[in-house]
Amino acid sequence: MRRRLPDRRVSDFFSKPKPAKWLVGLACGATLLVGSCSRAVEQTPFVAIEHEVSPEPARVGTETVALRLSDASGNPIPNAQVAIEADMSHPGMQPRFAGAIEREPGRYQAQLEFPMAGDWVILLHVTLPGGKRLERQFDVRGVRPN
């Protein structure tokens, strides 16, 4: 014998939400687990970095990269270690590296070679005197051929 199912309209199904306490409990438990697994984010001190590449416009060959590091008050940051990495904006070119030398308190300078014309991305790897590390980047667009 065939059983007849009760008549239900689609609107009845959607209009009466069914309580799902287990779903709420699962969401709360997941939130607690995620919160307990993360570690506190260390605050990086504010560091302003001004940069200049000269001569301008940049050309294939050796260029001078000048940097000025300052804190939130505008005071120079001396005794930092600055490593420079230059990458082309497209894949296939080997990155170029240079170390910046402090010329006066808070002012750093490096000689960097651009072996090919095009757009480059400069990554600065900075270690502050207290040991904190930070990274910044800027673009050098349109390096021209000689």
* pTM for the full predicted model: 0.68
Going 107 to 127 to 136 to 57, the CA torsion angle's sign is positive
pLDDT value of position 18: 54
Ordered by start, the domain boundaries in the chain are 48-143
**β-bridge pairing 48-54 and 81-88:** unpaired
pLDDT value of position 89: 82
Task: Per residue of the chain (146 residues), give pLDDT as tens.
Answer: 555 655 555 555 555 555 555 555 555 555 555 554 544 444 556 899 999 999 999 999 999 999 999 999 999 999 999 999 999 987 778 899 999 999 999 999 999 999 999 999 999 999 999 899 999 999 999 999 98
pLDDT value of position 102: 97
pLDDT value of position 78: 97
Among 62, 57, 50, 56, which residue's Cα sits nearest to residue 86? 62
pLDDT value of position 38: 47
Q: 48-143: which CATH topology?
A: Immunoglobulin-like (2.60.40)
3-45 per-position pLDDT tens digit: 565 555 555 555 555 555 555 555 555 555 555 454 444 455 6
Among 119, 122, 123, which residue's Cα sits nearest to residue 144? 119
Q: How many CB atoms within 10 Å of residue 138? A: 13
pLDDT value of position 27: 58
Q: 3-state class of 34 per DSSP?
A: helix
